[in-house]
């Protein structure tokens, strides 16, 4: 058996064990491929039972619409989804994190959070650039509303805070309302 086959077999074992224990892992950039996998796991677990699901999240962010899909599915399914941030929860990762109810938004002590406005590679004809810029502004306002509703912050403050990268440690994320609580061990759940 090749090393690649051994790694794939180990990966299958880990993924199967996580599914049996109703745990989902996002530890990568957010794109359509990982969104499809994550949504499939969440839907499969929801179809199996209405027992709680734990999602571990460590992501630098990525594609907003892929994050939207995961965010919306977390809210759509019947089981309660508890999200545990670790490492960094940034950009579209924060958007996913905010899908859980505040009491189910947890993190480990060294987690950092990032909120900011969406960005994108704008190019093409002048009229296309104008359309893309308008769509980014619409997305920025929508994401700011979601952050404001989930955190309890005034929309005006969120709009100012996301104008630039706004990094937060766990204490700042708690004060801001993004985070429900910090945990140190499995027993803290």
Regarding pTM above 0.85, the answer is yes
Active site residue 116: yes
* Catalytic residue (one of 63, 71, 95, 116): 116
Q: Which of 69, 91, 95, 166 is catalytic?
A: 91
Q: How confident is the model at residue 5 (pLDDT cuts 50, 70, 90)?
A: low
* Domain extents in the chain: 3-188
Query: Between 122 and 144, whose confidence is greater?
Result: 144
Q: What CATH topology corresponds to 3-188?
A: 2-enoyl-CoA Hydratase; Chain A, domain 1 (3.90.226)
Catalytic annotation present for 91: yes
Task: Please say whether the dihedral angle defined by the alpha carbons of residues 56, 59, 61 and 62, taken in this order, is positive or negative.
Answer: negative
- pLDDT digits 0-9 by tens, 44-75: 999 999 999 999 999 999 999 999 999 999 99
Measuring CA to CA, how many Å separate 110 from each of 18, 25, 88, 132, 173? Answer: 23, 18, 8, 36, 12
8 Å CB contact between 22 and 51: yes
Tens-digit pLDDT profile for residues 131-166: 888 888 899 999 999 999 999 999 999 999 999 999
Work out the average pLDDT over 86-95: 97
Identify the three-state secondary structure at position 102: helix
In this predicted structure, the answer to whether residue 4 has a pLDDT above a threshold of 90 is no
Residues 6+ apart with CB under 8 A from 170: 107, 109, 110, 111, 179, 182
Q: How high is the pLDDT of residue 120? A: 64
pLDDT score at 122: 65
Torsions phi, psi for 134 (to 5 deg): -65, -40
């Amino acid at each position: 058996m090749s090393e690649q086959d051994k790694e794939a077999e180990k990966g299958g074992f880990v993924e199967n064990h996580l599914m049996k224990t109703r745990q989902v892992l996002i530890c990568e950039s957010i794109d359509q491929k990982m969104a499809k996998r994550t949504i499939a796991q969440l839907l499969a677990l929801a179809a199996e039972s209405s027992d709680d699901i734990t999602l571990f999240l460590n992501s630098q962010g990525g594609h907003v619409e892929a994050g939207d899909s995961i965010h919306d599915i977390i809210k759509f399914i019947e089981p309660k989804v508890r999200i545990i941030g670790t490492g960094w929860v940034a950009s579209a990762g924060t958007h996913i994190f905010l899908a859980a109810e505040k009491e189910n938004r947890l993190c480990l002590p060294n987690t950092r959070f990032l909120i900011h406005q969406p960005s994108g590679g704008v190019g093409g004809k002048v009229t296309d650039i104008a359309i893309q810029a308008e769509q980014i502004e619409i997305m920025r306002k929508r994401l700011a509303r979601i952050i404001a509703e989930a955190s309890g912050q005034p929309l005006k403050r969120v709009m100012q805070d996301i104008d630039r990268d706004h990094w937060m440690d766990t204490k700042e994320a708690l004060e801001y309302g993004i985070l429900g609580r910090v945990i140190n061990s499995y027993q803290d759940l």
